[in-house]
Amino acid sequence: MSLPDAELLLADLAAQMRPHMTPDTALVGLHSGGVWVAQRLHALLGLAQPPGALDVSFYRDDYAQRGLSRDARRSSLPFDIEGRPLVLVDDVLHTGRTVRAALNELFDYGRPARVELAVLVDRGGRQLPVAATYCATRYAPPAGSRVKLVQDDGRLALRLVQDQE
Amino acid sequence: MARNPQLNKHGELQHLLTTEGLPRDVITRILDTAEPFADVAEREVKKVPLLRGKSVFNLFFENSTRTRTTFEIAAKRLSADVINLNIATSSTNKGETLLDTVDNLAAMQADMFVVRHASSGAPYLIAQHLEATGRDHIHVVNAGDGRHAHPTQGLLDMYTIRHYKRDFTQLSVAVVGDILHSRVARSQIHALSTLGVPDLRAVAPKTLLPQDIERLGCRVFHDMREGLRGVDVVMMLRLQNERMQGSLLPSAQEYFKFFGLTEEKLALAKPDAIVLHPGPMNRGVEIDSAVADGRQAVILPQVTFGIAVRMAVMAMLGGGNA
């Protein structure tokens, strides 16, 4: 069983999104895979606004259990989000908890006009009522493993890795 | 081998009591974690929800409005509830012991104590007591104890130096002033040495230097001009007015003449040297106004970075308890 080709998924995702982009639309990638996807989509879609990046470490719901993430990074939104249409971009959609955290963080920067969600892969297993607006494929990895996006020489690829816990 | 009392069994921060013996990777992680917290103040909502529902008690057995305020702001930006207790004017005056005070506050479901005390070792005593009584979910942050340590000040100074100079292993750093009585100096020197500063200088009159200063890895200078020659970083210390009353120093004017930082003395350091001061400053005693307000001073950025560093410390302590 072979994993889908991330470059083909990316082209498909851009094609789905293209008719819905406005001159004000900005992409916001979620660290770290989502940031790579957002950068590629930004180029493919020719958007005016540079893409933003969110690290949701300060908004995660497992902080009380697991503590602060070891590699919390800066979030950066290089545009005013007030009244702007936004698309959150992630590589893999799973439980929906990261998206919940991202929405909470976004609203601490202001009130966007609309927030959509674009993902390369929906792997199922949702624990919250979250759905992608744009999704290139559905793919459920075998039990005990998860799908990971890697970037190699500017090209995106999907890998199967063992779950840590 | 005895466990470092500041670290839990996974090697993660359990309390912050001193920079002495704090491993380099823990210091670096605190500084790295502070960077994203520095951005929180720039946003529309200057708060993140990490410590929502947690109670942080500021236990100040010695008054310090400024330090207490910076901890209060940091805790509030993490969404904690903050309770300020100025015990200098409260129940210990009625005879209650330190540990009774702590037990009472722990019974009010405290999650973190930020402790300032005139006696060296008081925060360590509290941390030990909490662990010995099975309350290791309560964390202690030392906000200055006696002449011993002021670790968050030392760490915010490291953050400031890294912000302007990047690589500690290339630096000459001079710590100048009343090192003998300064918990700030001790926290700075331990952190600078752990981070690999190759040229660490202690600049002070003989009467204001601790005897073991060379053991801490410092080169000693009694002549400030010699001590500042070619340095990248000048760390000024506050001269506490009460030191003038003893026989340690002749007068503020004479101290300024020999150990006050003026533009003329600063000119001996590298042209891009930065000047730090932990505040509050005594202008005209340890530092001249022209330097304090000059282009090389990074004293106000220190204050801003201090909030982010304290947020990082409290956020690293407050999670992962399950």
Its ipTM equals: 0.90
Instruction: List B residues 12-31 in contact with A (Cβ-Cβ < 8 A).
Output: 12, 29
Same domain for B219 and B231? yes
Angle between helices B65-77 and B299-318 (to 10 degrees): 50
Task: List Cβ<8 Å contacts ≥24 apart for B246-253.
Answer: B248/B207, B248/B208, B249/B205, B249/B207, B249/B208, B252/B282, B252/B284, B252/B285
List B142's β-bridge partners, or say none.
B115
Q: How far is B188 from B152, CA to CA, in rounded Å? A: 10
Query: Considering the domain boundaries, does residue B17 fall inside one?
Result: no
| Count of C-beta atoms within a 10 Å radius of residue B280 | 10
Residues B120 and B226 in one domain: no
B107 and B189 co-located in one domain: no
* Tokens of residue A54, six digits: 């969110």
Same-domain pairing of B166 and B286: yes
B126 and B168 share a domain? no
Taking CB atoms and an 8 Å limit, are A66 and B12 in contact across chains? no
**Token output for A24:** 């004000």
Q: Same structural domain for residues B90 and B168?
A: no
Residue B211 belongs to domain spanning:
151-303
Burial annotation B2-20 (CB, 10 A radius, 16+ → b, else e):
eebebbeeeebbbbbbbbb
Going by pLDDT thresholds of 50, 70 and 90, the confidence category of residue B22 is very high
Burial of B267 (0-12, 13-18, 19+ CB in 10 A): exposed
Query: Does the distance separating the beta carbons of A110 and B319 come in below 8 Å?
Result: no
Q: What angle do CA A39, A42, A45 make, to 5 degrees?
A: 150
| B12 neighbourhood in chain A, CB within 8 Å | 67
B7 has a chain A CB within 8 A of its CB: no
pLDDT band at residue B4, thresholds of 50, 70 and 90? confident
Give the pLDDT of residue B1: 45
Does any CB of chain A come closer than 8 Å to the CB of residue B44? yes
Query: Contact B33/A66, CB-based, under 8 Å?
Result: no
Rounded to whole angstroms, the Cα distance separating B48 from B254 reads: 49
Q: DSSP labels for B194-232?
A: HTT-SEEEEE--GGGS-TTGGGGTPEEESSHHHHHTT-S
| Residue B163, CB-side half-sphere exposure with 13 Å CA sphere | 21
pLDDT in tens, B158-186: 999 999 999 999 999 999 999 999 999 99
- In sequence order, which residues have a C-beta less than 8 Å from that of residue B100 and are 6 or more positions away? none
| pLDDT confidence of residue B2 | 59
Distance CA B33, CA B50 (A): 13
Give the domain CATH number at B64: 3.40.50.1370
Which residues of chain B are within 8 Å of residue A109 when distances are taken between CB atoms? 43-45
Nearest CA in chain B to A56: B48
In eight-state DSSP terms, residue B188 is H
Q: How far apart, in whole angstroms, are the C-alpha atoms of residue B265 and residue B228?
A: 7
Please check the confidence at residue A165 and state whether its pLDDT lies above 60: no
Element (H, E) at A120: strand A114-122
Helix%, strand%, coil% for chain A, nearest 5: 30, 30, 45
Q: What is the pLDDT of residue B63?
A: 87
Beta-carbon separation of B36 and A73 below 8 A: yes
Chain A residue numbers with beta carbons less than 8 Å from the beta carbon of B33 are 68, 72
- Dmax (CA) for chain B in angstroms is 57
Question: Is the CB of residue B42 less than 8 Å away from at least one CB of chain A?
Answer: no
Q: What is the fold of A6-63+81-162?
A: Rossmann fold (3.40.50)
Structure confidence at residue B244 (pLDDT): 64
Question: Beta A114-122 vs A134-138: how paired, if at all?
Answer: parallel
- On chain A, the residues whose CB falls within 8 A of the CB of B319 are 63-64, 66-68
Same domain, B163 and B262: yes
pLDDT surpassing 50 at residue B96? yes
Tell me whether B36 touches chain A (CB under 8 Å): yes
Residue B146 sits in the same domain as residue B277: no
Q: Which of A63, A68, A107 sits opposite B33 (nearest CB)?
A: A68
Query: pLDDT tens for residues A39-72?
Result: 999 999 999 999 999 999 999 999 989 899 888 9
Q: Pseudo-torsion of CA B90, B96, B99, B103, nearest 10°?
A: -80
b/e sequence A51-64, b meaning 16+ C-beta within 10 Å: bbbbbbbbbbbebb
Give a yes or no: residue B7 inside a domain: no
H/E element, A151 = strand A145-152
How many CA atoms lie less than 13 Å away from B270 in the CB half-sphere?
A: 14
The residue type at A138:
R
| pLDDT for residue A71 | 86
Specify whether B164 is located in the same domain as B290: yes
Residue of A nearest to B36 (CA): A74
At B12, is the secondary structure helix, strand, or coil? coil
Q: Which two tokens stand for residue B6?
A: 């500041």
Residues making up the annotated binding site of B for carbamoyl phosphate are: 66-67, 116, 150, 153, 279-280
Instruction: Show binding-site residues of B for L-aspartate.
Output: 94, 183, 238
Per-residue confidence (pLDDT) for residue B311, from 0 to 100: 98
Shared domain check, B226 and B89? no
DSSP-derived pairing of the beta strands B112-117 and B55-60:
parallel
CB contact under 8 A, A73 and B33: no
Q: Give dist(CA B23, CA B38) in Å, integer.
A: 23
Least CB-CB distance to A58: which of B35, B44, B50?
Answer: B50
Per-residue model confidence (pLDDT) at position A1: 55
Chain A residues with CB-CB distance to B316 below 8 A? 67-68
Identify whether residues B130 and B196 lie together within a single domain. no
Nearest-by-Cβ selection for A109 from B44, B315, B319: B44
CA distance A68 to chain B (A): 6
Distance, in Å, from the CA atom of B206 to the CA atom of B318, rounded to the nearest integer, reads: 42
Identify the H or E element spanning B16: none
Domain boundaries, chain A: 6-63+81-162
> Residues of A at the B interface (Cβ-Cβ below 8 Å)?
55, 57-59, 63-68, 70, 72-76, 104, 107-110
Tokens 């921060």: give the residue. Answer: B13
Q: Tally the domains of chain B.
A: 2
Q: Is residue B10 part of a domain?
A: no
Query: Are residues B68 and B204 located together in one domain of the fold?
Result: no
Cα atoms found within 13 Å of the Cα of residue B13, Cβ hemisphere only: 31
Nearest neighbour of A68 by CB, restricted to B45, B47, B315 = B315
Residue B103 has a pLDDT of 95
Q: How far, in Å, CA of A103 to CA of A131, rounded?
A: 13
Q: What's the average model confidence in pLDDT over B286-300?
A: 98
